[in-house]
Structure 1
């Protein structure tokens, strides 16, 4: 079932006025008291916070478009001076419009969260003698705290220390707050969620299931932000650091991931592909893998437009699915990092696209071949049950996953390993994720033997977690944040570039075993089929197969390597990645001199 316009359309217009966060519209005491005096109107007030997921700040930027480049996704930021290209190339200026909208809408969401928090805490309904009313208001409070935590987490990843606003706007407030230390902010956000999670509903107790914030998601977010707080971060002097109390936050991550595992455990669905196909089919099961997904209404959302399997469409196409692209390509190094029996690879990595004739063909086929432009395969507009129309592009209505139970299991394994090494509990959590990734016949070697081999020490088990998270969450665009908190961003980028160069050399010199050329065709049912995805062959068995360049395309006769190999990660491989961006000009100007872009090499402007 798809929720249409319930969570994303704000029904309390006064709570979502488009004003800057430093100069918000004042809300009268009467209005706030009225809105939060009863459950139904309080629900509408909290809905205002969700509305910002429907803006470009989230639906195309924070969800996927701004999250490259990593070792499992990339885009060529150097090929244009446009705003998103500046971000991909780590050279965004304060006038960058993408940064502007993220900053602006993040603080609008935070403002509306603050209004809801104060309104709920000050409401008689919060402590109503009616148990249902009181419980519902406590749950709404938890939603508001959790949504506020998400937006601050993103602001910190992109801008470092930022103003920490926790009060609803009112006459006489100081709207010109200075930056607050990122660790102070994260500590408070974590504590807010710890204080409220027990009063929240589980997804199967809520009207909208996993399409609204629930207790599962809040418990998972406590763990996620605790690992962010306990992880590495970039300081203004361009060095990486972590706080001396980091183990306390790994303990919180362990405790709260374990709390969810104890109170609301669930098996991971056996069919990995179905987890994401459900989103394309508007199915949102509770007590399953996805804990919370942003419920894009039909006509909203960019999944299947700028991320997912490419569909070539338009008015002259022979199908009604419209057109969609893939802005974040998967490098071949990631594709070939998978075990060939891992079912996640062919779900995550699509070697095909859909052409104007509604035929599946190799990504390197057509008039503009890009043989190594492997797509994010978990979503596509051509998976929709109802074609949205020939000329459609955006607005597929496909939901976006925010947190999965597999993530909770791996966060527990990581935290337990950091605290106590690769204990049986840590191994057990990793085992649950790997068992879903392989057919039962392979468990003895791919699960049991593998886990035994990586559990010889804390470092080897940590490296296994780093790899497992790459294989499990490819395309879900959380890798950037993980590489940052682990402090290995530049290391992984360097490994990727060197790996791609080796693939290029092996293909050009004829010394490799991987496919220089792909042989592909459509089977009798019209489905795309590859003869040799894992090995080099000299020729196909018959003429029904089409030969297309693949890894041989990584070589360039003039430059030695395709330019994207040497340039996509050029600003990521110099030892420390400057992933922090300057505060947008609008934030600087509206702060009346309080904020400036000091540190990080920005020159104070």
Structure 2
């Protein structure tokens, strides 16, 4: 089923599917037994119910904006733009969110809606007459739907756990429970259950080549990849309630082995490979073009031009456009030192980080270092113009690059040093990043500790802005460490010391004439940067960002843009409104508070973690 057909099917079913969203936490679905049975009395009707489960991952409250672009952007790569406010998106990014924060309620509720819908599908498929007495072909279809529902439910529970820790767990529809006022369940119990569910689902969901699936629909590799990701989280650290400390999960080697096995099977399947173009991979999401390499294993779909099923990806985040044709907000800002984590010829740098904005006259305006944005998503890479905020850009939840790096990480943990297979997996990711400059890839270390550090760094470079970094740092118990390291790096950046001794204080940039349009979205992200009229003073333009200033006087016709000089002490620490990660507290802020309305609706639910 092609993307447009699949999207149209989602849209047509959005209003007719009987498994409607519940408006309150764990509200019982209003379905009679007869209506519930009728929903599953044929394969097409069952698929309609399954579409309702997929639908729960879409829209502003989940992977259209909040789950991926707001709750997750608190690492050492990006932060939400703007000054701190405890009750909005900036409170989340600064680790200062409180239970009344407006960004917390709907992701929690809508994710439980998805769980409720999945539970109805999981319960009713085995009871369906199609499943019990239907044709072999129909039963195979129903098995596939069951596997997809199990996988989506696992994904929803993982989203809840990584943001809120222990949460209420139910594996039955609300109407079948003696009470919907559930207490919290230990996350390890939930993890173990959903890992079992995913093991079952992997036997039911076909490989991409067998099922004719698009990236917007789950395949066997998506099931296995999600299982590997959850297994690594189960093996890693998380904030516990009693005592309130970061603690590693029990029996971690068991879960590293699960991650290793699942990733290796995906690698050996031949179903997926790296797209040779890092930038091309993300551009394909903007044009609904097939990723012919199948690097995008699973993407959350977006369609319909509305807040329920579409996304604000590329409008809320990404390259900022002030022009009327591609108006977009630039709601996520790069940590300035992230730019310098990349090698000079790493092609990922200019895709991940937009150091310019597009002016009202479609010109590239070089920005000071504290005003850079994420750049993987750009409205100008779509065909949509005007002020529209819904761009139909799917969210790449799982990529083959992640499979390679998860495999390498698990291999290193199991064998106490990386195997050649693990080194080769990381090398494949590195070589793409340095296409055209392979000689600069560097040497990958072979000791356990050094290889792990290399993986930590490589994931920072590969997945910037993709909503993984914060949760990676938490499971490695490195969030506090990396926040402190970043503050020191920002201090060195401000002072021009250490690794930043050769970073210029400012850069001279000449704006084009008012009638000249110099932003061309069909050019590569790297070429967009090189196209800017930057004063080079006898050096290569690509080297300007890595050389101290040779002259203080501003050349005629040029504007001085603060580079290092834009960094000030209030950005680093001491300012409760502007400082990076100012409100972070170890053994507390690794998790978010549960929204007050949710706590008030369930007398068995506790807030915990000092909130």
CA distance in 1, matches of 2:517, 2:65: 34
* Match of residue 407 from structure 1: 402
How far apart are 1:564 and its partner, in Å?
8.3
Q: 5 Å matches for 1:486-497?
A: 486-497=476-487
* Match of residue 244 from structure 1: 250
CA distance in 1, matches of 2:315, 2:246: 36
CA distance in 2, matches of 1:511, 1:280: 35
Residues 446 and 562 (structure 1 numbering): CA distance in 2 closer, same or farther, change over 3 Å?
farther
SS of residue in 2 equivalent to 1:74: strand
Residues 87 and 172 (structure 1 numbering): CA distance in 2 closer, same or farther, change over 3 Å?
closer
1:260-296 Cα distance to aligned partner (Å, 9 max, x none): 1112343311111000001111213254211111111
Q: 5 Å matches for 1:166-315?
A: 166-170=171-175, 173-206=178-211, 208-236=213-241, 237-285=243-291, 287-299=293-305, 300-313=310-323
CA distance in 2, matches of 1:328, 1:515: 24
Comparing 173-182 with 127-136, greater Cα deviation is found at 127-136
CA distance in 1, matches of 2:571, 2:173: 56
Residue 578 (1) aligns with residue 573 (2): no
CA distance in 1, matches of 2:219, 2:88: 35
CA distance in 2, matches of 1:545, 1:128: 77
Q: Residue 490 of structure 2 contacts residue 572 of structure 2 at CA under 8 Å; is this kept in 1?
A: no
Match of 1:424 among 420, 423, 433: 420
Residues 79 and 342 (structure 1 numbering): CA distance in 2 closer, same or farther, change over 3 Å?
same
Residues 76 and 341 (structure 1 numbering): CA distance in 2 closer, same or farther, change over 3 Å?
closer
Residues 565 and 82 (structure 1 numbering): CA distance in 2 closer, same or farther, change over 3 Å?
closer
SS of residue in 2 equivalent to 1:154: helix
Superposition TM-score, scaled by structure 1 size: 0.89
* Match of residue 378 from structure 1: 376
Residues 253 and 568 (structure 1 numbering): CA distance in 2 closer, same or farther, change over 3 Å?
same
* Match of residue 561 from structure 2: 548
How far apart are 1:7 and its partner, in Å?
3.2
* Match of residue 512 from structure 1: 501
SS of residue in 1 equivalent to 2:297: strand
Residues 463 and 135 (structure 1 numbering): CA distance in 2 closer, same or farther, change over 3 Å?
same
How far apart are 1:44 and its partner, in Å?
0.8
SS of residue in 2 equivalent to 1:162: coil
CA distance in 1, matches of 2:18, 2:228: 34
1:90-119 Cα distance to aligned partner (Å, 9 max, x none): 333323232111111111110001011112
How far apart are 1:601 and its partner, in Å?
1.3
CA distance in 2, matches of 1:414, 1:188: 23
How far apart are 1:549 and its partner, in Å?
1.0
CA distance in 2, matches of 1:14, 1:173: 23
CA distance in 2, matches of 1:579, 1:18: 29
CA distance in 2, matches of 1:525, 1:161: 53
Q: Residue 492 of structure 2 contacts residue 499 of structure 2 at CA under 8 Å; is this kept in 1?
A: no
Residues 308 and 510 (structure 1 numbering): CA distance in 2 closer, same or farther, change over 3 Å?
closer
Residues 39 and 192 (structure 1 numbering): CA distance in 2 closer, same or farther, change over 3 Å?
same
SS of residue in 1 equivalent to 2:65: helix
Residue 18 (1) aligns with residue 28 (2): no
* Match of residue 364 from structure 2: 360
Residues 534 and 142 (structure 1 numbering): CA distance in 2 closer, same or farther, change over 3 Å?
farther
CA distance in 1, matches of 2:502, 2:177: 70
* Match of residue 528 from structure 2: none
* Match of residue 55 from structure 2: 51
* Match of residue 524 from structure 2: none
How far apart are 1:487 and its partner, in Å?
0.5
How far apart are 1:4 and its partner, in Å?
3.4
CA distance in 1, matches of 2:119, 2:15: 17
Residues 418 and 127 (structure 1 numbering): CA distance in 2 closer, same or farther, change over 3 Å?
farther
CA distance in 2, matches of 1:267, 1:234: 35
RMSD over equivalenced CA pairs, Å:
2.6
Q: Residue 517 of structure 1 contacts residue 549 of structure 1 at CA under 8 Å; is this kept in 2?
A: yes
* Match of residue 468 from structure 1: 458
How far apart are 1:182 and its partner, in Å?
0.3
Superposition TM-score, scaled by structure 2 size: 0.88
